[in-house]
Amino acid sequence: MKSTWELKEKSQGILTVTVDGEVWENAQKKAFNKIAKKIKVKGFREGQAPEAMVRRMVGDQEIFYEAIDLVANEALAAGVEEQKLTLVDRPTLDIESLTKEVAALKFMCTVSPEVELGEYKGLEYTPAKTNATAGEVKAELEKIRKEYTEQVAKEEGTVENGDIAVIDFEGFKDGVAFEGGKGTDYPLEIGSGAFIPGFEEQLVGMAAGEEKDINVTFPEEYGAKDLAGQAVVFKVKVNSIKQNVVPELNDDLAKDLGEEGIETLKDLEKKIKKDIQDRKKADADESLKDELLKKVTDAAKVDIPDAMIESEKDYMLNDMKNRLAQQGFPFDQYLKMLNKTETEVREDIGGNAAERVKSRLVLAKIAAEEKLDVLAEELEEEFKSLADSARMDVEQVKKYVSAEDLSYDLSLRKALDLIKDKAVALKPEPKSSGKKTKKEEKDA
């Protein structure tokens, strides 16, 4: 089999494969035998009629077309290999010519587009600040204090703002108890806004054991239509009062965290500072990679075929469906919530599909140019990492993730790391003191 390749626009072209000789002859024989088994000739059992008689009944064209069905995939594979093509969509088949001696098959193919790279080394960037400020450390310490807050019984006094009033309550509308308006030993933090406006404020000043009728009006937009905008009465009893006690910020609190190497408040502050800096650095690295990748992608030229963009939209939609399913959220319910069709959602989330495809093509081109091969041990290490994350056996992961796909992803990651490693950080400009140098004074 011989082939020719003619590239057209949008990475589409015509792959012509000529099938002749023994391959085409054998395909015709197989095609004839397949057809002959189904031919019914009077006086003969099905498939047992003489060949000459069957051939008179079956025209050459029927045999040719059956033979094409048998040999088309083999012809396509041979042509793709000979021309070193990477198909990105299912090709369509047309027939250029058919005879007993030769079949010329034309495949309309969409291939991975050529990428013309721009600059991807030596890109300049401004480093992000990754220092932890005193205010950030203080805020983190306060967060820890609040996490260790304890509720302590208030032995004396009445309910105040910020207290937790443990109450029994029952609501009545026109003297009749309404559904959902009753609770027992309910801990209500005063000032939280958890209840109807006006309810919590009327608890202020009540003592433990005291009972009271609280008059409130449900908001007009309240969910239950029979209560929306209605005046009701809650019969309330305060069973007990509790206070939030926030621990002091000292060495004892630091020790109570039970973290290795943390014995004093200073130890805790150092760890928090390092954690903040590490987090900022990781975020800055990700942002920098995104920034550099956009520059590299924008500088590259590539004519992306529509099939690749549509395929990316399908992938993004299926990914969304899977994530919703993992959260127990049916996709049809999600569509109802948005009041949109699946097609509309696909277009919404696929708005940057072309950019995503282009970024991958550009990174793949860089990986090829720089010969960023993925070693066997690197691939195995990545499989192990995936297995650890999913808490699965490595061999199980290999059943779901192909080595080829994972190797491709790793090569793209290597390309992105190369772009980052070769980028040049701009030095910050020195702050001006406001005073003129001697040279500036002389020039003046």
Question: Would you list the domain boundaries of the chain?
Answer: 2-112, 114-148+265-301, 150-245
Q: Are the C-beta atoms of 15 and 106 separated by less than 8 Å?
A: yes
Torsion angles phi and psi, residue 397, rounded to 5: -60, -40
Is the pLDDT score of 281 beyond 90? Answer: yes
DSSP per residue, 186-218: EEEETTS--SSTTHHHHHTTPPTT-EEEEEEE-
pLDDT confidence bin for 442, thresholds 50/70/90 = low
Distance CA 19, CA 72 (A): 9
Q: pLDDT for 40-69, tens place per residue?
A: 766 666 655 666 666 767 778 888 999 999
Question: Can you tell me the mean pLDDT for 4-24?
Answer: 92
pLDDT confidence bin for 107, thresholds 50/70/90 = very high
pLDDT confidence bin for 131, thresholds 50/70/90 = very high
CA distances from 256 to 41, 106, 152 (A): 94, 75, 19
Question: Can you tell me the mean pLDDT for 415-424?
Answer: 95
Q: Among 26, 14, 22, which residue's Cα sits nearest to residue 96?
A: 14
Question: Can you tell me the mean pLDDT for 404-429?
Answer: 92
Q: b/e per residue, 39-49, with b = 16+ CB within 10 A? A: eeeeeeeeeeb
DSSP per residue, 54-69: HHHHS-HHHHHHHHHH
Q: Among 251, 279, 10, which residue's Cα sits nearest to residue 132?
A: 279
Q: Which pLDDT belongs to residue 434?
A: 56
* Stretch among 41-45, 70-74, 90-94, 327-331 having the lowest mean pLDDT: 41-45
Is the pLDDT score of 87 beyond 90? Answer: yes
Which region, left, alpha or beta, applies to residue 158 given φ > 0 means left and ψ of -120 to 50 means alpha?
beta
DSSP per residue, 132-161: PPHHHHHHHHHHHHHHT-EEEE--SS---T
Q: pLDDT for 16-27, tens place per residue?
A: 999 999 999 999
Q: Are the C-beta atoms of 24 and 36 separated by less than 8 Å?
A: no
Q: pLDDT for 216-262, tens place per residue?
A: 999 998 888 889 999 999 999 999 999 999 899 999 999 988 888 89
Q: Which pLDDT belongs to residue 60?
A: 83
**Bridge partner list, 183:** 169
Distance CA 267, CA 284 (A): 26
Beta strands in 69-175 (DSSP E): 92-98, 102-110, 115-116, 124-125, 150-153, 164-173
Is the pLDDT score of 444 beyond 50? Answer: no
Question: Can you tell me the mean pLDDT for 412-438?
Answer: 80
Q: Which pLDDT belongs to residue 45?
A: 63
Q: Which pLDDT belongs to residue 61?
A: 87
Question: Can you tell me the mean pLDDT for 167-192?
Answer: 94
Q: Which pLDDT belongs to residue 41?
A: 67
Q: pLDDT for 305-355, tens place per residue?
A: 989 999 999 999 999 999 999 898 899 999 998 999 999 999 998 889 999
DSSP per residue, 260-319: TT--SHHHHHHHHHHHHHHHHHHHHHHHHHHHHHHHHHHH-EE---HHHHHHHHHHHHHH
Amino acid identity at 10: K
Determine which helix (DSSP H) or strand (DSSP E) holds 241, and give its type and residue range: strand 231-245
Q: Return the percentage of the chain with pLDDT > 70, whole number.
A: 93
Q: Which pLDDT belongs to residue 1?
A: 86
Is the pLDDT score of 300 beyond 90? Answer: yes
Is the pLDDT score of 80 beyond 60? Answer: yes
Q: Which pLDDT belongs to residue 256?
A: 87
Given this structure, which CATH class describes domain 150-245? alpha beta
Q: Return the percentage of the chain with pLDDT > 90, whole number.
A: 74
Q: Which pLDDT belongs to residue 62?
A: 86
- Angle 353-369/403-422 helices, nearest 10 degrees? 80
CA 264 to chain centroid: 41
Q: Are the C-beta atoms of 424 and 125 separated by less than 8 Å?
A: yes
Is the pLDDT score of 139 beyond 70? Answer: yes
Average pLDDT, the chain: 90
Q: Which pLDDT belongs to residue 159?
A: 95
CATH superfamily of 2-112: Trigger factor ribosome-binding domain (3.30.70.1050)
